Structure 1
């Protein structure tokens, strides 16, 4: 046709363009790729946030993690039973493989029971066993018609690998619980030792005995039982160390609005203007502010003492004594057993005082010790436990 242009030629009246043709990504294609990339990232982020295993790990939901782990064990047990119920023609060593797999499955169940008890105990003490939340690869579904080979059935290999992987996870869970408990115990014992406080730790050999009888064949405990006992010993030692923190005077004796107005050591006396020794820390606060016991112990003095005004004295289980001076009132009585944070008095300005504040002392025998070292140690220990 006359009006139809042909490739490679121009109409006579047309003027060819002097600008070369541009080659590149069409804008519509560019924006489509950008939208696709952005949407993919959004879907990936949503999948990450909604992943059950990851969400449980981030939220620290130990109970749900353990239950999910037990479901996986149950699924593996069903898989083992399925493999045992199937018949294989000319299976060769299939029966032996199934027997070994069944033994592994029983060991896994026993191992998990031990780990479950340890996880519960660790959870009570604030130690999370997040290692059990590591997702295992699902067992591949069997083929419609399995074919036995001289090297065994592939279904058995996959199931055995899953069982072995979960056994490794539970073993690693025990190891991580023990490592965390031991590290925390050492930190607590070290902090308190620096303050001159000895921690009484349970001895693994305490309370053992019995008649001497000949050894029995096969009477030795399984290695995983010994491992579990070692982990439990580590948890019990950690509990003893953690409980010792409550008895140590390492906690703040006051809460709310206050400020430290004077430190420990030599200072200019507010009454004489000369240098004098200050045996404690002063915390300025409003009259009537509650004074708290800095640690567990027994109230051994409630009354008036020269220079201190109205004073409360608490003797702690480790032999240290804390004094609380310049009080406006008492909330405790002599002979009362108190714990960390028990209200024992109210801030005041009695005795040798220029204004309402709490005078806080830590004493060992007849000597005053800098309370700041105790309160700083308490801050570090609280951070460790949290």
Structure 2
């Protein structure tokens, strides 16, 4: 007896057993479907060409493709040519920038020397940019854009302008100060000798001109600035040699001036050949300018006296001294202590009698001292 499957018995003999789809058949059908889709897409994209092929127009299609390839090749060649031209322009620009940077570095070195020289003479120049601040040229050689090249060129041009401004500032300041010094000293009858002729010497063998060998304008500018500094130094040295500086320091007061006055001993009008500075006995007396001590001793009416001979035939005289701090033949600078305040000779009390003389004629020392104050203010 057979039992139903629902009751766990044997299945009826009339029910057949089902079998699954074979794998080979399944994959074959899938591949066929995929190829059909691919062919359909290809036919959609290239339907015109395929139609022509099917219409036995293969030769015309091939010719058309060859024409398109030829046109594309021409276009590529044209783009390559443009790229090469642009690359050539960029390389040329980079080469020019490299040359400008070298000029900038050279210019910076020249200006640095001039700034140091000006600083030694007390001239503060405009702020000098650092040459290391210039953009590097080498990394830009790999850049494909011109914006960076233009920015670099602008930065280099700006820095070159700044260094040029620094040189111009130094030259103008030196020239202006030289002019003021000459004006002040000329008003005192002091001739200032400037090394103009010494800077004009040129020479060399006569040779044929060579293309591209012109002298650098930058060198000419630097030489002009240096010439201005040399002239200024000469003018500044003239200040040091002139007796225009205060011959005493510390606590003092001007007790008498140059010219006619009431004589303290006779009570009558008399000429006073110098300026008196009242101070305590022993106060240091300073040389009013660089020169050579030409007299140390006693003079009638002056008591103890020291005289210093300066350039331009000027002599400064210091009287009524209590002691000497210098000797004949000694070279002294501006501000060198040469004696001490006293009350020797024709004097009513301790003070310094200061004179400036030329050709043994007394000159008003007030004009010299006031010029000295103005020049000291000018030079800082």
Q: Scaled by the length of structure 2, what TM-score is found?
A: 0.73
Counterparts of 2:363 and 2:214 in 1: how far apart (Å)?
Answer: 52
CA contact (8 A) 1:139 1:158 kept: no
CA contact (8 A) 2:241 2:310 kept: yes
TM-fit CA distance, 1:383: 0.7
CA contact (8 A) 1:310 1:351 kept: yes
Give the alignment partner of residue 196 of structure 1, picking from 181, 189, 200: 189
Give the alignment partner of residue 262 of structure 1, picking from 248, 256, 259: 256
CA spacing shift, 1:146–1:313, aligned 2, 3 Å: closer
CA spacing shift, 1:146–1:231, aligned 2, 3 Å: closer
Counterparts of 1:158 and 1:366 in 2: how far apart (Å)?
Answer: 70
CA contact (8 A) 2:286 2:335 kept: yes
1:237-295 CA distances to partner (integer Å, 9 max, x unpaired)?
A: 01111111110000011111000000010000000000000000000000011101101
Q: How many residues align?
A: 293
Structure 2 equivalent of residue 384 of structure 1 = 378
Residue 94 of structure 2 corresponds to residue 98 of structure 1: yes
Give the alignment partner of residue 351 of structure 2, picking from 330, 354, 357: 357
TM-fit CA distance, 1:208: 3.0
TM-fit CA distance, 1:112: 0.9
TM-fit CA distance, 1:131: 3.3
CA contact (8 A) 1:204 1:233 kept: no
Give the alignment partner of residue 338 of structure 1, picking from 296, 310, 332: 332
CA spacing shift, 1:247–1:360, aligned 2, 3 Å: same
TM-fit CA distance, 1:191: 0.6
1:51-108 CA distances to partner (integer Å, 9 max, x unpaired)?
A: xxxxxxxxxxxxxxxxxxxxxxxxxxxxxxxxxxxxx955342112112111111111
Secondary structure, in 3 states, of the residue corresponding to 1:132?
coil
Q: Give matches, 1:45-56, under 5 Å.
A: none
Counterparts of 2:341 and 2:372 in 1: how far apart (Å)?
Answer: 22
1:24-54 CA distances to partner (integer Å, 9 max, x unpaired)?
A: xxxxxxxxxxxxxxxxxxxxxxxxxxxxxxx
CA contact (8 A) 1:136 1:165 kept: no
Structure 2 equivalent of residue 278 of structure 1 = 272
Q: Give matches, 1:56-67, under 5 Å.
A: none
Structure 1 equivalent of residue 76 of structure 2 = none
Q: Give matches, 1:225-236, under 5 Å.
A: 225-236=219-230
Give the alignment partner of residue 117 of structure 1, picking from 96, 113, 129: 113
Give the alignment partner of residue 157 of structure 2, picking from 156, 164, 175: 164
CA spacing shift, 1:111–1:146, aligned 2, 3 Å: closer
Structure 1 equivalent of residue 168 of structure 2 = 175
CA contact (8 A) 2:252 2:278 kept: yes
Q: Which runs of 5+ in 2 are unaligned?
A: 1-81
Residue 147 of structure 2 corresponds to residue 154 of structure 1: yes
CA spacing shift, 1:383–1:136, aligned 2, 3 Å: farther
1:181-205 CA distances to partner (integer Å, 9 max, x unpaired)?
A: 0001101111101000011111254
Counterparts of 2:336 and 2:261 in 1: how far apart (Å)?
Answer: 31
CA spacing shift, 1:154–1:194, aligned 2, 3 Å: same
Q: Give matches, 1:18-97, under 5 Å.
A: 90=84, 91-92=86-87, 93-97=89-93
Secondary structure, in 3 states, of the residue corresponding to 1:340?
coil
CA spacing shift, 1:146–1:115, aligned 2, 3 Å: closer
TM-fit CA distance, 1:307: 0.4
Structure 1 equivalent of residue 363 of structure 2 = 369
Secondary structure, in 3 states, of the residue corresponding to 1:130?
coil
Q: Scaled by the length of structure 1, what TM-score is found?
A: 0.71
CA spacing shift, 1:244–1:221, aligned 2, 3 Å: same
Give the alignment partner of residue 223 of structure 1, picking from 199, 217, 221: 217
RMSD (CA atoms): 2.4
CA spacing shift, 1:114–1:146, aligned 2, 3 Å: closer
Counterparts of 2:199 and 2:156 in 1: how far apart (Å)?
Answer: 37
TM-fit CA distance, 1:129: 1.6
Q: Which runs of 5+ in 1 are unaligned?
A: 1-87
Secondary structure, in 3 states, of the residue corresponding to 1:266?
strand
Q: Could you say which structure has the larger radius of gyration?
A: 2
Structure 1 equivalent of residue 308 of structure 2 = 314
Counterparts of 2:129 and 2:376 in 1: how far apart (Å)?
Answer: 27
Counterparts of 2:199 and 2:161 in 1: how far apart (Å)?
Answer: 32
